[in-house]
Structure 1
């Protein structure tokens, strides 16, 4: 029996606009590493699971003949659909589905990617399903980025404390399930047990200068303090955020060294 934390399926409802505008893109160095390390043919199919608003699907699309962008949140997929039309990306297929319920044929994909979401999935089940869907020799990439409240700078510690206080005040602590932050079976073990050859991790950093407005928007893109939770307290929340961060304001910006990572695994064959 799995001991994974179970996340609700609608935690990001209503966040798509903020997610698309305020989530940081993956750096070109990570994308280049991913493309080079997976030996893409240029005419295969990409699967982006839990795709959000396409932070991986769109920059990787030039390397594929077709892209499946899959997310269980309907407004995320509608944003993907609009972006694809606006950008003239014709071979992108937006699909509303969970990673655990998606239907696909064996040997369908040259590469599968999951961005900042594998920990939210039923990892053992999803890993086996992805292995089944990949072509022999195909790859799975788990991509990650750090959050602005997770670092050790004074402003980041103040931000983390402010968010925790508002979660308590708004009764939102349980939107992140109990046990989600505890150590669990490492991803490489999960992938290896599913039948993957684990290739290793590559790490990257990029400096970003946040404005207060960008931080406020980014927070609204999260599952724990989305607009639906903040509700009619939005003005009070923004005022408190500004007051909490004002002692650390460096000319209107808050500088973060953002960490990014890419874990690669390969289907034998």
Structure 2
């Protein structure tokens, strides 16, 4: 498979926690309803970032593991858990492919906007082993502000591509990663790993961005994080404000954000 660099998100954790959009409450509640946890089990948030799924889902579980390969991310999770008095949240710094967990030790495993960056076949097989019979795996997704049809979104996409080229950052995300998933779609891969597919469940939410918030969101990405922008950050922000300012209304840019999760179930018997 096409490999992603292990340090893609280094330096992004603070921006990630502040500027990544939360999953809608309705989606979180719907996932909990369909997964039907016992209230006594364990949740695993793989490639957790700063806990965008771990924290809203933890109330349905006795213990939550928040696992990410980036120490900066798990440091933020640890600080958030301490501030919230969430002793049930266990931050773990480990690659998803290398996590040490006992068989049948989780009722639900969630992966948010990250499955495509992992060694999917290996992670699917490991997740199947980690889940208790009848447990679920949820691949959660959200759309990006530069991927939509609005004029400001097309302008943003062009600006980001131009800055990636200017800063020599075009190769940070490996070419061909989309092809891997097209040739071996997630649903087929999960079926081979032994999962029963339980459908895709979609949600939308309207969000009004400010240009400074978009600048922060971009710094949370793998392709233009703070270490890449470095000494060019002020010029980038000025260019962003100039290009998007002509599209804003009262200082805001409106987007309909798409959210979804693909649910799969480990059979209760083989």
Output the TM-score relative to the length of structure 2. 0.98
Counterparts of residues 1-269 of structure 1 (less than 5 Å): 4-182=1-179, 183-269=182-268
Report the Cα distance in structure 1 between the residues aligned to 2:255 and 2:127, rounded to whole angstroms: 34
Output the TM-score relative to the length of structure 1. 0.98
Residue 33 of structure 2 aligns to a residue whose secondary structure is helix
Number of residue pairs aligned between Structure 1 and Structure 2: 266
How far off its partner does 1:249 sit? Answer: 1.2
Report the Cα distance in structure 1 between the residues aligned to 2:130 and 2:201, rounded to whole angstroms: 24
Structure 1 consecutive aligned stretches of length 4 or more whose deviation exceeds 2 Å: 181-184
Deviations 1:168-200 (A, max 9, x none): 000000001010233331111110011000100
Gaps of 5+ in 2: none
RMSD of Structure 2 on Structure 1 (CA): 0.6
Report the Cα distance in structure 2 between the residues aligned to 1:265 and 1:235, rounded to whole angstroms: 44
How far off its partner does 1:246 sit? Answer: 1.8
Gaps of 5+ in 1: none
How far off its partner does 1:243 sit? Answer: 1.0
Report the Cα distance in structure 1 between the residues aligned to 2:121 and 2:11, rounded to whole angstroms: 29
Report the Cα distance in structure 2 between the residues aligned to 1:5 and 1:31, rounded to whole angstroms: 31
